[in-house]
Amino acid sequence: MGTEGGVVRDYRTANGENPAHEGRQSDNRAAPRSTHPGSRPRNHPPESNHRPSPARSAPRLGPATTLGTAALLSAVALMATSGYLISYASEMPPVLYLMMAVTAVRAFGIGRSVFRYAERLVSHDAVLRTLGTIRTAVYARLEQLAPAGLPAFRRGDLLSRLVADVDAVQDHYLRWRLPASIAAAVSVVSAVGLGLFLPAAGAVLAVGLLLAGAVVPAVAARLSGRTERRQAPARGELANTVVDTFTGTAELTVAGALPRRLAAVRAADADLTALAGRSAATTALGAGLVALLTGLTVTAAAAAGLRGVASGALAPVCLAVVVLTPLAAFEAVAGMPLAVQARERSRAARARLADVLEAPLPVAEPAAPVPLPAEPLPIAVRGLSARYPGGERDALSDVSLTLSAGRRIAVVGPSGSGKSTLALTLLRFLDRTAGTVTLADGCPQAVDSARASSDDVRRVIGLCAQDAHVFDSSLRENLRLARPGATDEELRAALASARLLDWADTLPAGLDTMVGEHGGRLSGGQRQRLALARALLADFPVLVLDEPAEHLDLPTADALTADLLAATAGRTTLLITHRLAGLAAPGAVDEILVLDRGRVVERGGWADLTADPGSRLHAMWQREQEADGLLLLDAR
């Protein structure tokens, strides 16, 4: 449940509705947008400013490349100078003749460690800052997409994108771009430097480094490119099956479907393990080829050095330099086969992140939002139509109603008739394709909700959904999501309105009682009453109750509906339900709208509609009574 303007807003979980097809199961959890009067306001700029990409968030790796190159060149120089020093010392010259070489060895040894540490520090700082930006951008986009724009993504897969794929972008910089830049610089300098001693040895080293740093990685990319690109989707599939299995274990066990679901988890794990195995085989092949090229290059350089010594082109004391320099220089290209594999993995991860960052928004924010009137009622809905992204037809078509002060309207109909779509459209979680929603209708300051910020609209219209989220915290903190500064008296008044105060008073810890993860220590009815108390504490001008008694047994559902209607007396309320029993009481609601396939097929009062044998509501009421009678017989 998110908070907005000091109010509570519930969001859909895996066991809730798929907004595109009401009544069907959805495996998405829509993330909330939230602001509060006492907190920093959050502005949503136009969509064009909310489409950041990993490419545009690339870190500046110039300093890290310079430091990394210096570290590796220090290692190469250390090896070459050490060889020269040992060879020269074997001739037993005066000690002073060796001092420059000794000092150089010390300097290069210290420099290698210092430069390497600095390179790690600078590169990780730059990359981690970029990752923070990318992860924030992805979360912000998910927040904008929720809930209507998320059905295309699955919960576990979204988690994998937000965590594993963002981390994989790190590999693009730290394991591909940075090593490749350093390898290129070190290879050129090492080959040129060795060529100054002996051109033939420099040419041999250049060829060896080119083969190990370019050809072998190209072969590795050719062999494992498809495998590496499949790892990110496979990881997402595994995460999705694991999350679905954990969150639905109880239901799967009751339905006898848990073994089949566990088999799906094992199959997804086997697929990812197979891909990792093929990737490891390619890594091993690349490492072996680089080791082979290292040995061949050193041997060829040694042969060139011996010929140079024999011809007098190379001083004998420098032969060790020619032999040992390639050993150190190949350190720069040893990781290149692994680097190209990281590049392929990161490309797939970047593409998956782009799917989220470039997903079309279900709601277009106005470029210059207008403020809402101080008194937003009445709210007039005229000819409202809406369609989900990618939908072929409107999920809601030509719906009209008026929400005046204190008026209560019930919206009923079968699953998939557009009831929750109406709620999402009113709260601007989904853009309308036609019609108007006018706040302060008939007043000089009347405003169409499409011209206002969606956050402002949700300060006026609040939602208490069927799957209200309860956080693993205390009763007090769950209630204070609606109004952080609420006093204990206000919290107790909200609980009393939701018929939950007597129960709370029996708890040893009172309002400080922990409710458990997802409210696991509460019954279904208590969770819904807690959500209602939170919504009442928020004090919405208009409260939308979306299937509040769903997933409850009939007696509990009917009692909860009656209490909801009693608690919202005098408050402008839109009750969305498929259960009719709670509407039969005199004065329960002022008007009933019957939806079917997104259209209003009937409207009127309870008595008038149920008295007409040909009405849809009359038929629905009869079917519900017959079904309740059968359930009572079975219970006996």
Q: Among 323, 357, 391, which residue terminates a domain?
A: 357
- Whether residues 342 and 384 fall in one domain: no
Residue given tokens 């769950």 in the structure block: 478
- Whether residues 103 and 206 fall in one domain: yes
* Whether pLDDT at 609 is above 60: yes
* Whether pLDDT at 256 is above 60: yes
* Whether pLDDT at 18 is above 70: no
Whole-prediction pTM: 0.66
Residue 47: what pLDDT?
43
Confidence at 632, pLDDT banded by 50, 70, 90: low
Q: Among 357, 392, 416, which residue terminates a domain?
A: 357
* Whether pLDDT at 146 is above 80: no
Q: CA quadruple 106, 109, 112, 118: dihedral positive or negative?
A: negative
Domain-embedded: residue 102: yes
500 compared with 216, residue with greater pLDDT: 216
Domain-embedded: residue 413: yes
User: 340: which 2 tokens?
Assistant: 């190209």
Of the candidate ranges 10-14, 315-319, 384-388, 528-532, the one whose mean pLDDT is the lowest: 10-14
- Whether residues 435 and 322 fall in one domain: no
Strand arrangement of the beta sheet that strand 7-9 belongs to: 2-4, 7-9, 461-464, 542-546, 572-576, 408-412, 591-596, 599-604
Beta-carbon contacts of residue 403 (< 8 Å; ≥ 6 apart): 377, 378, 379, 380, 381, 409, 542, 572, 574
Domain-embedded: residue 514: no
* Whether pLDDT at 568 is above 90: no
% of the chain surpassing 90 pLDDT:
38
Domain-embedded: residue 603: yes
* Whether pLDDT at 385 is above 70: yes
- Whether residues 332 and 447 fall in one domain: no
- Highest average pLDDT, of 30-34, 137-141, 612-616, comes from 612-616
Q: Among 309, 324, 357, which residue terminates a domain?
A: 357
- Whether residues 266 and 410 fall in one domain: no
User: What number of CA atoms fall less than 13 Å from residue 578's CA on the CB side?
Assistant: 16
Give the pLDDT mean for 379-408: 90
Domain-embedded: residue 136: yes
- Whether residues 280 and 416 fall in one domain: no
- Whether residues 136 and 197 fall in one domain: yes
Strands 572-576 and 542-546: parallel
Residue given tokens 């007039």 in the structure block: 380
* Whether pLDDT at 5 is above 90: no
Give the pLDDT mean for 276-297: 93
Q: Which amino acid is at 32?
A: P
Residue 82 three-state SS: helix
251 compared with 213, residue with greater pLDDT: 213
Q: Give per-residue pLDDT as tens, 107-116.
A: 999 999 999 9
- pLDDT mean across residues, the chain: 84
Residue 295: what pLDDT?
94
Give the pLDDT mean for 522-546: 87
Domain-embedded: residue 93: yes
Of the candidate ranges 109-113, 342-346, 423-427, 579-583, the one whose mean pLDDT is the lowest: 579-583
Give the pLDDT mean for 451-472: 87
Of the candidate ranges 385-389, 409-413, 585-589, the one whose mean pLDDT is the lowest: 585-589
* Whether pLDDT at 26 is above 60: no
* Whether pLDDT at 549 is above 90: no
The verdict on whether omega for the bond into residue 316 sits within 30 degrees of 0, i.e. cis, is no
Q: CA quadruple 267, 269, 271, 274: dihedral positive or negative?
A: negative
Residue 110 three-state SS: helix
Residue 232: what pLDDT?
85
Residue 636: what pLDDT?
58
**Calpha distance 264→240 (Å, rounded):** 11
CATH of the domain at 125: 1.20.1560.10
Of the candidate ranges 2-16, 216-230, 479-493, 519-533, the one whose mean pLDDT is the lowest: 2-16
Give the pLDDT mean for 118-128: 90
* Whether pLDDT at 562 is above 60: yes
**Calpha distance 163→227 (Å, rounded):** 20
Domain-embedded: residue 519: no
Residue 347: what pLDDT?
87
Domain-embedded: residue 161: yes
- Counts for the chain of helices (H) and strands (E), in that order: 20, 14
Give the pLDDT mean for 122-126: 90
138 compared with 2, residue with greater pLDDT: 138
Give the pLDDT mean for 336-346: 90
**How large is the C-alpha radius of gyration of the chain?**
34
**Calpha distance 316→305 (Å, rounded):** 9
Which of 366, 354, 394, 549 lies closest to 464, judged by CA? 549
Count of domains observed in the chain: 2
* Whether pLDDT at 7 is above 60: no
- Whether residues 302 and 395 fall in one domain: no
Residue 156: what pLDDT?
80
- Highest average pLDDT, of 32-46, 147-161, 228-242, comes from 228-242
- Highest average pLDDT, of 97-106, 181-190, 562-571, comes from 181-190
CATH of the domain at 409: 3.40.50.300
252 compared with 360, residue with greater pLDDT: 252
Confidence at 153, pLDDT banded by 50, 70, 90: confident
* Whether pLDDT at 15 is above 60: no
Confidence at 139, pLDDT banded by 50, 70, 90: confident
Q: Which amino acid is at 302?
A: A
User: 138-141 long-range CB contacts below 8 Å, 24 or more apart?
Assistant: 138/162, 138/166, 138/353, 138/356, 138/357, 139/31, 140/50, 141/50, 141/356, 141/357, 141/359
Q: Which domain holds residue 449?
A: 379-466+543-635
- Whether residues 623 and 564 fall in one domain: yes
- Whether residues 298 and 405 fall in one domain: no
* Whether pLDDT at 9 is above 70: no
User: Do residues 373 and 439 make contact, with C-beta atoms less than 8 angstroms apart?
Assistant: yes
- Whether residues 386 and 352 fall in one domain: no
- Whether residues 230 and 186 fall in one domain: yes
User: What number of CA atoms fall less than 13 Å from residue 78's CA on the CB side?
Assistant: 16
